[in-house]
Structure 1
Amino acid sequence: MDAHPDPDPAMPGRPRTPADVRRWRRYLADERAEAAVYRDLAGRRTGEERAILLALADAEKRHEQHWLDLLGDDVGRPLRGDVRTRLLGFLARRFGGVFVLALAQRAESRSSYDQEAFATATMAADEQIHEEVVRGLATRGRNRLSGTFRAAVFGANDGLVSNLALVLGIGASGVSSQTVLFTGLAGLLAGALSMGAGEFVSVRSQRELLDASTPDPRSAKALPHLDVDANELALVYRARGMASDDAQRRADGVLASLAATGAAGPGPLTHDGGEADGPGAAETDHETHGTAWGAAISSFCFFASGALIPVLPYLLGLVGMQAVFVACLLVGVSLLVTGAITGLLSGTSPLTRALRQLLIGFGAAAVTYVLGLAFGTTLA
């Protein structure tokens, strides 16, 4: 008689094997590690996000119990989770934040329960839904830092690629290392100033557009004096895109409220007539876009930090191909890091994004290097 009867009534005649036991123990370790990750993340949050993360931890606990029931006496000594899950736990305990949630989202997407014969359909469905839950939590964080992140990544990446291309192109033409250094520093300053000025104009223009689109609060004072029969207030709503009948009903309601109570209700001349577009809405939009000076200074600093890296070897006294090699190495590592961060926050493969960033950056630099060689040969 088999010492280990069929562990799953849904699979009669399928006894466990040593490979099954090893796989289940690995699943058990991973479920325990993932539950710990969610509890650690919950410990760094409050309110609704904390409750959601604790609910995810409870779900992982149910999955853990499933494998405990299957293993029975074969559970053995507790195993450690896989390397990725342990790294995730380390980051969750010390940092938390959107980066860890992005990693957790990818971890949930790697679940193999839909192909595991001894996992229930409910467990496979849970893992798929968990990915969407974590995606929603991560999206909150992505939205909160989207503006800062965009300025940081694009500014630093522009500085890395443009100044590496400039330094390599000039260096390949055969000029002295001092000329390459001065050219790189000039490119850093010119590019950073250009980025800062462009961001200043962009944000200032956006804020001016918001100001121009915000209803003038003084217009509300004219409402009591409008001709009720003509009711030109309806034209305001029609100009904002409402259908004629809907605009007329809205205007009639506003004037009727004004006649009955002496007050037209909140925001009668706002975009939707409600509090959502009240006085605080313009302030919220302005906060979302930030200040023009803040955006300009941030862009200047991010670009300069990236543009400085290709120049560092020349500042340290390196010359010739040695300087070129070190500059390419430093920029390559920086491009891999910015690409990986972009991949993490966007929920895609960090490796794919890192390699894409590297290829684009080195591709642009290679073009200018070849042109520099050609010009150098011609001038010689």
Structure 2
Amino acid sequence: MSLAVAGEEHEESGGRLKAIIFGGLDGILTSFAIIAGAHGANLGPVPMLALGISNVLADALSMGAGEFLSSRSYNSYVLKEREREMWELKNHPEGEIAEMVQLFVARGMSRVDAEVVIERMAKYEEFFVDIMMKEELSLPVPSEEDTLESLKDGIAMFLAFALFGMLPLACYILAGMLAPSLDVTSLFSVACVATAISLFALGAFKARFHDKRYLYAGVETVLLGGACAAVSYFVGRAVSQFAGFEQLEFVIQYEQQPTVL
């Protein structure tokens, strides 16, 4: 008799959604915060672009490497915990079995049934240790493929940060090339519009894997980005005004000093 296995449909394209969303948002906000802060501080386009491009690339590499290294460190920690659990099972099996029985009883299973189930599973040490890791410690055991997945997550984080982070800068440069007559304020406005569109698209993309509320997610992401950019702009403006005041005061005092021949 053949048994039909029901096929299950899953959304596999959202597997690296966290890295893409987090990296993309951080990239856009980082580059646009630099543009907003530089504009508020009255810096020219060249220093603004130099700071923006260098910071986006450096931060993208840092974020990608951090994602990979943190995942690898976590997997190493889990595997060390598994080795400890395996040692305890080999040297003190009664205690480990009793802990699992108590855990299953606490979750609603009768003690008799729990003892039967745990005793049967304990015959298969590798399988039983993996069950203990998940049920007792809430630490699913990583496989060899998880290391490759960690590397893919790091690459996805790097690419998302770099690509999305370059969008405001690219629009700023492109607007200046296509319309050389535009002043700095107009170029900043173009960057604002491009950033808002990018943030909305990223928020809507996130909603595809969540609650399908595309408009709400897009507007929410734009408001978050706008708040971050506003803080950067006003801080840059305040620092520029303070620095300009101090410099002006120094020049006045210097000019008032008598010249000694």
SS at match of 2:16: helix
Query: 1:336: which partner in 2?
Result: 200
In the alignment, which residue of structure 2 is the partner of 1:270?
129
Which residue in the other structure is 1:307 paired with? Answer: 165
Taking the TM superposition and a 5 Å limit, the aligned residue runs for 1:250-269 are 253=119, 264-265=123-124, 267=126, 269=128
**Candidates 20, 25, 33, aligned match of 1:165:** 33
Contact between 1:200 and 1:292, CA under 8 Å: does it hold in 2? Answer: yes
Counterpart CA distance in 2 for 1:269 and 1:344 is: 38
Distance 2:14 2:85 in 1: 31
Assess, with a 3 A threshold, how the Cα gap between structure 1 residues 241 and 329 changes in structure 2: closer, same or farther.
farther
1:283–1:168 Cα change, 3 Å: closer
Q: Specify whether residues 246 and 289 from structure 1 end up closer, same or farther in structure 2 by C-alpha distance, changes over 3 A only.
A: farther
AA of the residue aligned to 1:48:
G
Other-structure match for 2:97: 237
**Structure 2 partner of 1:116:** none
In structure 1, give the amino acid aligned to 2:129.
T
Tell me if the contact between 2:101 and 2:114 (Cα under 8 Å) persists in the aligned partners.
no
Inter-partner Cα distance in structure 2 for 1:356 and 1:235: 51
Q: TM-score, normalised by structure 2?
A: 0.70
Could you tell me whether the CA contact under 8 Å between 2:66 and 2:154 is conserved in 1? Answer: yes
CA distance in 2, matches of 1:341, 1:369: 27
C-alpha distance in structure 2 between counterparts of 1:379 and 1:160, whole Å: 28
Of residues 221, 226, 244, the one that matches 1:362 is: 226
* Equivalent AA in structure 1 for residue 30 of structure 2: S
Cα deviation, residue 365, structure 1: 0.5
1:175 — aligned with what? Answer: 43
Query: Aligned partners of 1:252, 1:353: CA distance in 2, in Å?
Result: 46
Mapped partners of 1:378, 1:268: distance in 2: 65
Residue in structure 1 matched with residue 7 of structure 2 by the alignment: 48
Q: Report the secondary structure of 2:224's partner residue.
A: helix
Equivalences for 1:33-112 in 2 at 5 Å?
Answer: 48=7
> Are residues 343 and 233 of structure 1, via their aligned partners in 2, closer, same or farther at CA, if it must alter by over 3 Å?
same
Query: What is the alpha-carbon distance in structure 1 between the residues aligned to residue 127 and residue 42 of structure 2?
Result: 70
Q: Does 1:201 align with 2:69?
A: yes
> What is aligned with 1:150?
18
**How many matched pairs?**
221
Q: Verify the 8 A CA contact 2:97 2:118 in the aligned structure 1.
A: no
Verify the 8 A CA contact 1:233 1:251 in the aligned structure 2: no
**Structure 1, unaligned runs of 5 or more:** 1-46, 50-136, 227-231, 258-263
Q: Note closer, same or farther for the CA distance 1:328–1:317 as it changes in structure 2 (3 Å cut).
A: closer
Deviation at 1:370, TM superposition (A): 1.6
Higher relative contact order (CA 8 A, sep 6+): 2
Runs of 4+ in 1 over 6 A off after TM superposition: 244-248
Cα gap change, 1:313 to 1:217, in 2 (>3 Å): closer
CA spacing shift, 1:271–1:196, aligned 2, 3 Å: closer
Q: Decide which of 222, 235, 241 is 1:371's aligned counterpart.
A: 235
Query: Residue type of the partner of 1:174?
Result: N
CA distance 1:192–1:234, change in 2 (3 Å): same
Residue 191 (1) aligns with residue 55 (2): no
Unaligned 5+ runs, structure 2: 1-5, 106-110, 177-182, 245-261
Describe the superposition over 1:14-52 as per-residue Cα deviations: whole angstroms up to 9, x where unpaired. Answer: xxxxxxxxxxxxxxxxxxxxxxxxxxxxxxxxx736xxx
Alignment CA distance shift 1:342-1:240 (3 Å):
same
Contact 2:31 2:55 in 1 (8 A): yes
Report percent identity of matched pairs.
Answer: 22
- In the alignment, the residues of structure 2 paired with residue 343 and residue 268 of structure 1 have an alpha-carbon distance, to the nearest angstrom, of 37
